[in-house]
Amino acid sequence: MSHKYTAKLFIGDEEIEDNSGENLDDLYSWLLSQAADKFGNVNGKIIDNQSNQVVREFRKAPPD
């Protein structure tokens, strides 16, 4: 069975982790928790698998 959403976590342009599920908020929380211990240009997005549209995204700025 295919999931409704896929979350992808990147450092720069390199995908480092992904996860799929049905609940948008759960996947967003997963992205934020995975990004918490990463350094650099960390960003993530959640894609609706049916429409292939990005439905939520974030970017974590590196510390000064």
> Range of 39's domain?
5-60
Q: Are 48 and 6 in contact (CB under 8 A)?
A: no
pTM of the predicted model, to two decimals? Answer: 0.89
Amino acid at 43: N
CA dist list (Å): 38 to 11, 21, 23, 45, 61? 8, 22, 24, 16, 11
- Taking only the tens place, the pLDDT of each residue in 29-43 is 999 999 998 888 999
Look at the chain and report how many structural domains it folds into. Answer: 1
Dist CA 44 CA 17 (whole Å) = 9
- Taking only the tens place, the pLDDT of each residue in 5-64 is 999 999 999 999 999 999 999 999 999 999 998 888 999 999 999 999 999 999 987 666
